[in-house]
Chains A and B, each alone.
Chain A
Amino acid sequence: MNVLYLVSMIGYIVLAPIFGLVLAGLDRKVSARMQRRVGPPVVQPYYDVRKLMEKDQVTVNKVQDFYVFCFLLFIVITGCIFFAGGDLLLVVFTLTLANVFLVLAAYSSNSPYSQVGAERELYQMMAYEPMVLLTMIGFYLAVGSFNVSDILNGDKMPIVTMVGIFVGFLFILTIKFRKSPFDLSMSHHAHQDIVKGVTTEFSGRTLAYVEIAHWYENIMLLGIVFLFFCNGTWWGYVIGVVVAAVSFFLETFIDNSFARMKWQVALKSSWVVSILFGLINVALLIWVF
């Protein structure tokens, strides 16, 4: 059993960036088709990152690289804990630590645009964190354990009693995937960002690390979506993978259907969703199911 989790952890470290970059490529391809363009090849994100790696090594200060490296490192650790069947709350807390490192990297440059990005990133964390925590609490109440391994082998599908939480989680996934309308701190759409948000002052290899970290992070987040459908059988896993893929493309669709909204909307709407879907679902889990 333990060996299995070790294998899945190593598998995550090796395969997650590959899947992540393919997903990012597909995202761009699908977006392009939605806009009636041909779009770049699917492996374009890989070319981008390789080019960034070869760029001149330039920085705005001497400490930024440290923070960005820690960001990448702790994102990978977060994923490792998740794929090693670890504790969901530990996953959330490590993810928070990683994100704080990204914020610090942006702050450290003391540049106006990256500071706007950094503060917005913190603001987004404040917006999605309650729902993320409620999701994990929901898993615990539904399955009786915070451990990914127990949920994976549980005998009932968590989604059955967690529909509300699932909807809420999909909602904040838009923020986590940095998709419009909530791509406040950093956007892939050049036309609606304040310069380049948190990443304004990153360049070359440092920027490449941020990209790679996002690949890792996205796979881990889709892993959580997958978890909603696990019931210890093969068809549960298949449904999980399919729904994870569908929800990723749902986010792409949302991304292309909305322009960025005012920043106020992000916090208000995600807290309302957290209460309406997350909290009420948790209450039902406590009192009804």
Chain B
Amino acid sequence: MYSVFFLLLFPALMAVLLLLVKNDKLRGVIVISGAIVIMAASVYVALEFLKDGTTYFNFESEMLDWFMLAVELILCAAVIYLGMKYKKYLASILSLVQAVFLVWFEITYAHEINVLNNLYIDQFSIIMILIIGVIGSLICIYSLGYMRDFQEHHVSEKDRRPWFFFLMFIFLSAMFGIVTSNNLMWFFFFWEVTTLCSFALIGFTKTEEAVKNSFKQIILNLVGGIALILAIIVLGTQYDVMEFDVLLRMDSNAMYVMLAVGLFSIAGITKAALMPFHSWLLGAMVAPTPTSALLHSSTMVKAGVFLILKLSPMYGNNVVGYMVMCIGGLTFLLASMAAISQSNAKRVLAYSTIANLGLIAACGAVGTYEALWAGMMILIFHAVTKSMLFLCVGTAEHHIGSRDIEDMDGLFSRMPKLSALMIIGISGMFLAPFGMLISKWAAMISFVNSENLVLITCICFGSAVTIFYWGKWLGKMVAVVANSKDVEESVHKEEWVVLGLLATLVIAICFSFPFISSEILSPYLLSVFGQPVNPIFATFGIAYVCVLLGMLALLVVVPIPFFNKTKKKVRNNYMCGVNNGDNQSYSGSMGMSVNVSMRNWYMEDWFGEDRINKIGLVLTTAIIIVAFVLILGGVTS
């Protein structure tokens, strides 16, 4: 129990310390040692509780409840104030509404309800703790080098790094809280803290765009926050329930339970940036890249799908199940399409994140053990791979001066090591022997087994589209351009260490996924669904695991004999004119030298962002409205 408390409190303590330290060297020491301690502690907690299965902690403190309420009200007040200051009154109003609900519920009902267990830990929380602890700490270490460059690029501005690291570490604490809270009011508290951290980090640079996007984030997430508090109020007033485990044992076909689950889903959907609320995640890309890696791809948005996966047994063939399935599936398909039209690397990553979160949510909503297995696997693989990709883009951006994919022409020649890592990351997102594909495969089987035509359509077409946008990016990366300068030397050491570790992790979890499945996921699925099947062996068979692992090994081994060794004569490209010898220009008619430039294919007419977003917005909003009308009308299945 104390180890869990340590996880909750230690990062917060580090955060306060980092807020006070102004010296860069000292900060480095604190961040690295703090990150290592957090990593070690999360691994320790994982090992400690893995054997025990689900463990509850009946720790109680009235003081703590009041403290949380006070903090929440202070945060609400801060948002109201900032909303007034920047003339974003909608944010102020929403925050006020939320505060009113919160205080009303806290005073009238919450203290009457007896909460047995405030904290818990199970295999799913362990997975999340490992993701937050390991990846989160690595990203914090990476931020050291990144923020040093960042400060150099923004010399004229005040050094606000203490504030940055304060937010990052507070965020880690809050995330640990989200995945271990059994008390719904605690869950809500941590949930709001992460929203506020994200708000502050998006607005970190205080440029006009950053402020605008941070308010977009807070407004949409406050809608989710209000849905969350309403869900808690429904449960509290109707059933006197304020605990997760009790909720999960209730019958989801009762109207008020379904209403609560529906509201929880809305909260999850906003946090996970699924359509129609996805626009905040795109805006969030103005934040410093480590923030995007930590909050907006590997952890905070995962809290949204964590909630949905957690509620998985409540979904299935009922109204909320269909609602989340359709929204998740459509988000996967449409966000993948929109990714085609983007040339900004971070926006491509953002759309791909939205798409994958959609797929995870859809898996959760199917409500079968296979689908949940697939969803959890995608969650794990995506967290590792995507955070690495974000960090790679961040490093590339600081060294080639652009985050545009068009400028990554021949990155392989300019930053060979970084490109190798990026290639591993991109391949990891969509190609055969890597983890993401294995879990997408499982997702596909579970969709077919649940006989859901919408999801089958979305995954078939969505996968096809996915190949296109990753493929063309990968192509840009591998192009070999002559006479390019190596600009890799100035990359900070911390960045290399972290990127290397993440790449190792990407490969390592591919090799160890049978183990993750049998040791962590299966016991969890057994406790949730009561079916003692290890789906990975039931659906694929052990032979296929071997084939996949063999292919993976092959991909590691085959490049070796080819690496930079060839006896062939190297000749120039065909240019349909006399190549000037540098592969960059040719002699055209009248002896003029014509420069060659190549651009990627974006298909703006078909997959333009505005068009796709409009379709998504209309469809998903309609789905939500219909679902809630049905629930309130008493239709549940």
Q: How far is the CA of A104 from the CA of B478 in the complex (A)?
A: 7
Per-residue A-contact encoding for B90-128, CB less than 8 Å = 1, 0 else: 000000000000000000000000000000000000000
On chain A, the residues within 8 Å of B468 by CB distance are 122-123, 125-126
Q: Which of A53-61, A231-239, A249-257 lies at the binding interface? A: A53-61
On chain A, the residues within 8 Å of B596 by CB distance are 112
B463: which of A110, A129, A195 is its contact (CB, 8 Å)? A129
| Known A104-B474, A279-B457; contact A110-B601, beta-carbon cutoff 8 A | no
Cβ < 8 Å to B, chain A residues 86-139: 86-87, 89-90, 93-94, 96-97, 100, 103-104, 106-113, 115, 118-119, 122-123, 125-130, 133-134, 137
- Contact across chains for A286 and B562 when beta carbons are under 8 A apart: no
Cβ < 8 Å to A, chain B residues 514-565: 540-541, 543-544, 547-548, 551, 554, 558-559, 562-565
B472 within 8 A of A: yes
A227 within 8 A of B: no
A220 within 8 A of B: no
- Contact across chains for A65 and B562 when beta carbons are under 8 A apart: yes
On chain B, the residues within 8 Å of A107 by CB distance are 474-476, 478-479
B490 within 8 A of A: no
On chain A, the residues within 8 Å of B459 by CB distance are 133
On chain A, the residues within 8 Å of B471 by CB distance are 100, 103, 122, 125
| Known A66-B559, A100-B471, A110-B479; contact A130-B574, beta-carbon cutoff 8 A | no
Instruction: Tell me, rounded to whole Å, the shortest Cβ–Cβ distance linking A225 to chain B.
Output: 20
Q: How many A-B residue pairs have CB under 8 A?
A: 173
- Contact across chains for B480 and A119 when beta carbons are under 8 A apart: no
On chain B, the residues within 8 Å of A89 by CB distance are 441, 444-445
B249 within 8 A of A: no
Q: How far is the CA of A25 from the CA of B548 in the complex (A)?
A: 35
| Known A118-B475, A133-B460; contact A61-B558, beta-carbon cutoff 8 A | no
| Known A59-B568, A63-B562; contact A111-B544, beta-carbon cutoff 8 A | no
A69 within 8 A of B: yes
Q: How far is the CA of A109 from the CA of B409 in the complex (A)?
A: 12
On chain B, the residues within 8 Å of A183 by CB distance are none
- Contact across chains for B480 and A286 when beta carbons are under 8 A apart: no
A38 within 8 A of B: no
- Contact across chains for A111 and B558 when beta carbons are under 8 A apart: no
B573: which of A110, A137, A271 is its contact (CB, 8 Å)? A110
Chain A interface category by residue count = 35 or more
Q: Which of B150-158, B343-351, B396-404, B448-456 lies at the binding interface? A: B448-456
Per-residue A-contact encoding for B431-458, CB less than 8 Å = 1, 0 else: 1110001000100110010010100110
B571 within 8 A of A: yes
On chain A, the residues within 8 Å of B456 by CB distance are 134, 137, 279, 282
A90: which of B479, B544, B575 is its contact (CB, 8 Å)? B544
- Contact across chains for A200 and B574 when beta carbons are under 8 A apart: yes
On chain A, the residues within 8 Å of B567 by CB distance are 57
A141 within 8 A of B: yes
Instruction: Tell me, rounded to whole Å, the shortest Cβ–Cβ distance linking A44 to chain B.
Output: 25
Q: How far is the CA of A104 from the CA of B431 in the complex (A)?
A: 13
On chain A, the residues within 8 Å of B441 by CB distance are 89-90, 93
A62 within 8 A of B: yes
Q: How far is the CA of A63 from the CA of B568 in the complex (A)?
A: 11
Instruction: Tell me, rounded to whole Å, the shortest Cβ–Cβ distance linking B396 to chain A.
Output: 18
Instruction: Tell me, rounded to whole Å, the shortest Cβ–Cβ distance linking A72 to chain B.
Output: 11
- Contact across chains for B431 and A70 when beta carbons are under 8 A apart: no
Closest B-chain residue to A134, C-beta based? B460
On chain B, the residues within 8 Å of A137 by CB distance are 444, 448, 456, 460
Q: How far is the CA of A154 from the CA of B574 in the complex (A)?
A: 52
B444: which of A57, A66, A81, A133 is its contact (CB, 8 Å)? A133
Cβ < 8 Å to A, chain B residues 474-524: 474-476, 478-481
A6 within 8 A of B: no
A201 within 8 A of B: yes
Closest B-chain residue to A278, C-beta based? B460
- Contact across chains for B478 and A279 when beta carbons are under 8 A apart: no
Instruction: Tell me, rounded to whole Å, the shortest Cβ–Cβ distance linking A272 to chain B.
Output: 12
Closest B-chain residue to A59, C-beta based? B568
- Contact across chains for A130 and B547 when beta carbons are under 8 A apart: no
A245 within 8 A of B: no
Instruction: Tell me, rounded to whole Å, the shortest Cβ–Cβ distance linking B597 to chain A.
Output: 9
B598: which of A94, A104, A108, A110 is its contact (CB, 8 Å)? A110
- Contact across chains for A81 and B465 when beta carbons are under 8 A apart: no
A73 within 8 A of B: yes
Q: How far is the CA of A103 from the CA of B461 in the complex (A)?
A: 20
A286: which of B451, B478, B540 is its contact (CB, 8 Å)? B451
Per-residue A-contact encoding for B592-603, CB less than 8 Å = 1, 0 else: 000010101100
Q: How far is the CA of A73 from the CA of B561 in the complex (A)?
A: 14
Instruction: Tell me, rounded to whole Å, the shortest Cβ–Cβ distance linking A104 to chain B.
Output: 5
| Known A97-B431, A110-B481, A200-B574; contact A59-B569, beta-carbon cutoff 8 A | yes
Instruction: Tell me, rounded to whole Å, the shortest Cβ–Cβ distance linking B46 to chain A.
Output: 31
Instruction: Tell me, rounded to whole Å, the shortest Cβ–Cβ distance linking B600 to chain A.
Output: 7
- Contact across chains for B475 and A104 when beta carbons are under 8 A apart: yes
A77 within 8 A of B: yes
Q: How far is the CA of A80 from the CA of B252 in the complex (A)?
A: 47
Q: How far is the CA of A191 from the CA of B563 in the complex (A)?
A: 37
On chain B, the residues within 8 Å of A112 by CB distance are 573, 575-576, 596, 598
Cβ < 8 Å to B, chain A residues 182-207: 195, 200-201
B26 within 8 A of A: no
Q: How far is the CA of A112 from the CA of B448 in the complex (A)?
A: 42
- Contact across chains for A108 and B558 when beta carbons are under 8 A apart: no
Closest B-chain residue to A64, C-beta based? B480
Q: How far is the CA of A252 from the CA of B445 in the complex (A)?
A: 35
A-B CB contact pairs (8 Å), 11 listed: A62-B480, A90-B441, A100-B467, A113-B574, A115-B475, A126-B465, A129-B467, A133-B444, A133-B463, A201-B573, A286-B451
Known: A57-B567, A61-B570. 15 other contacts (CB 8 A): A58-B569, A59-B571, A62-B566, A63-B478, A66-B558, A70-B558, A90-B548, A104-B478, A110-B481, A113-B574, A126-B468, A129-B460, A133-B459, A279-B453, A282-B453
